[in-house]
Structure 1
């Protein structure tokens, strides 16, 4: 699988680590309580089809990017810097 980093260009997916679906972009407030943080850390959906995921380009520019891809075909549909993503 190839991912196009907005800074470095197209790279092999082994340069990145996936941090999870876009739920990772919706962190609870620091004072949200134990249950909210437990759900955030431990519970994940496993969607089939198009999804947005947070990835880290650790073997490259160290950017955090949001990758849109199809979890069935692994086709990467787009990538953008996480800092520029509108929630």
Structure 2
């Protein structure tokens, strides 16, 4: 997720929760080449895609993130 302004981790997590995502922030960085832009690497539980209603709701939320899905992976099933 990329933000054009300083958005706190708490705001990011709250916006994700409001949109129905169970998520955690794995890493946050502010790159010196892009002043005022912060990147967050976020892990979201369950399968999502760019056409899902939750994803669309997030992109229209008050934090206005630029979101790119980097990939998917399976979680182990514990029996």
The TM-score range, normalised by the shorter chain, is under 0.3
Greater relative CO (CA pairs within 8 A, separation 6+): 2
TM-score (structure 2 length as normaliser)? 0.25
Pick the structure with more strand per residue: 1
